[in-house]
């Protein structure tokens, strides 16, 4: 019973962990990619321009959600200074490999892509947007365990 209690007390903080606010320091890490430079089976970093081409052209169609992708999408909104975001990143890397060919996973640095962060009212990160091929996107805020993301993929994206 003590082991179960300890495990629950240890895991619960990671389940609902999120950062809010901003920091002045940014580390660009991987370069942003354009629409033609997407690599399947890995997490790709998006710019606003690539987002408009690959996910939703919100400038041409600002009042209605029209998904332009060919596969369901997960977008991880993060910042380099956010510790919970760093916990989510390896999970997204694993999911991109496991769901290669079924789901595309992108990441958006909220410090660098303020327009996209504002478009989705991102006030707390990590925030993960699940976009099915058909239907409306759903947002999850806070770091979760991998199993919770898998459940969202099954229920929201309808992918096994």
| Catalytic machinery residues | 82, 85
Burial track 74-85 (b if 16+ CB lie within 10 A, e otherwise): bbbbbbbbbebb
Q: In whole angstroms, what is the distance from residue 117 CA to residue 139 CA?
A: 12
**63 CB-contact burial (10 Å; exposed 0-12 / middle 13-18 / buried 19+):** exposed
């Amino acid at each position: 019973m003590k082991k179960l209690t300890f495990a629950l007390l240890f895991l619960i903080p990671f389940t609902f962990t999120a950062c809010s606010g901003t920091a002045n320091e940014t580390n660009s890490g991987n370069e942003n990619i354009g629409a033609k430079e997407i690599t399947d089976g890995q997490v790709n970093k998006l710019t606003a321009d690539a987002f408009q081409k690959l996910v939703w052209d919100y400038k041409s169609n600002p009042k209605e959600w029209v998904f332009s992708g060919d596969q369901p999408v997960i977008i991880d909104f993060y910042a380099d200074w956010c510790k919970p975001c760093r916990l989510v990143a390896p999970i997204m890397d694993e999911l991109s490999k496991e769901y290669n060919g079924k789901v595309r996973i992108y990441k958006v640095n909220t410090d660098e892509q303020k327009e996209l962060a504002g478009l989705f009212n991102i006030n707390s990160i990590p925030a993960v947007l699940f976009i099915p091929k058909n239907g409306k996107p759903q947002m999850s805020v806070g770091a979760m365990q991998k199993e919770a993301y898998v459940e969202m993929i099954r229920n929201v994206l309808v992918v096994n």
